[in-house]
Amino acid sequence: MNKKRILVVDDHLVVREGIKLIFETEANYEVVGEAENGNEALMLIERLKPDIILLDLNMPKMSGLELMRHLNEKDFSVPIMILTTFNDNKLIMEGLSLGAKGYLLKDTPREELIRTIESAIRGEVLLQPEISKSIFGTKETLNPIKGSSDFSITERELFVLQSIARGYKSKEIAFDMGISERTVKAHLTNIYSKLKVNSRAEAVAVAIAQGIIHIEK
């Protein structure tokens, strides 16, 4: 079995070294390269062809968000996990809207880091509970408004959209709705098509930006 290839992009050497240590003992993953800013990362990505990028946001020369914009312009589809110290709602939403598969804080436990990377490579999105709570609030504070009608979002699709915004997995959503996971995935496919997105994170970001769901302050 080939190991999944990780590119670490962070301007702090101690962080890069720490991440490499984590994956030295992992049978399924290896760190194949590291960069201290977005410019270096751009040069490495095409050569190394990583399976996933662990990306810091605040870096000199080219920030993480700037790097993501460049990659979007080139239609580069490698999954990106933001790994940073900044628990800032605006940065989180901007990162997700640019296509990040998730947003982790640097104090994330090893097991959660690996689990989230696995999900990202599978095309899923997982947010830490504290991140999800920070930007989406509790179950009671996330509400639909009339913008959903502009995109022909059905009630069931809206329920799925609200659920993924709160970080629920397909299995949990299926249980709540009394349907199969396959049906949940069909709803997600319809949502992606209507919102013109390719991931759960993008769907949530667009839904909030377009007023399909909103967060009460």
The CATH number for 11's domain is: 3.40.50.2300
| pLDDT of 50 | 92
Query: Which two three-digit tokens encode residue 72?
Result: 């979007």
Domain of residue 201, residue span: 137-215
The whole-angstrom separation of Cα 17 and Cα 22 is: 9
The whole-angstrom separation of Cα 44 and Cα 33 is: 7
Q: How many domains does the chain have?
A: 2
Buried b (16+ CB within 10 A) or exposed e, 173-194: bbeeeeeeeebbeebbebbbeb
Q: Measured at the alpha carbon of residue 195, what is the angle toward residues 198 and 142, in degrees to the nearest 5?
A: 100
Same domain, 21 and 106: yes
Query: Which two three-digit tokens encode residue 132?
Result: 């999800």
- CATH number for 181: 1.10.10.10
| pLDDT of 111 | 86
Which residue type, as a one-letter code, is found at position 47?
A: R
Residue segments in the chain with a per-residue pLDDT below the cut of 50: 138-143, 145-146, 215-217
Same domain, 186 and 112: no
145 and 136 Cβ atoms separated by less than 8 Å: no
| pLDDT of 146 | 47
Domain boundary, last residue among 84, 109, 134: 134
What is the DSSP-derived secondary structure letter of residue 139?
A: G
Sign of CA dihedral 87, 126, 121, 199: negative
Same domain, 127 and 46: yes
Same domain, 116 and 10: yes
Q: Which of 92, 22, 60, 87 is nearest to 6 (CA)?
A: 22
Same domain, 112 and 165: no
Query: Which two three-digit tokens encode residue 56?
Result: 């810091």
Q: What is the pLDDT of residues 14-71, one digit of tens each?
A: 999 999 998 888 888 999 999 999 999 998 998 899 999 999 988 888 888 899 888 8
| pLDDT of 10 | 93
Query: Which two three-digit tokens encode residue 200?
Result: 């759960």
The pTM of the full predicted model, rounded to 2 decimals, is 0.66
Domain boundary, last residue among 85, 101, 134: 134
Cβ partners under 8 Å of residue 41, min gap 6: 7, 9, 35, 53, 55, 62, 67
Same domain, 122 and 29: yes
Q: Judging by beta carbons within 10 Å of its beta carbon (0-12, 13-18, 19+), is residue 116 exposed, middle or buried? A: buried
Q: CA-based Rg of the chain, rounded to a whole angstrom?
A: 17
Same domain, 92 and 57: yes
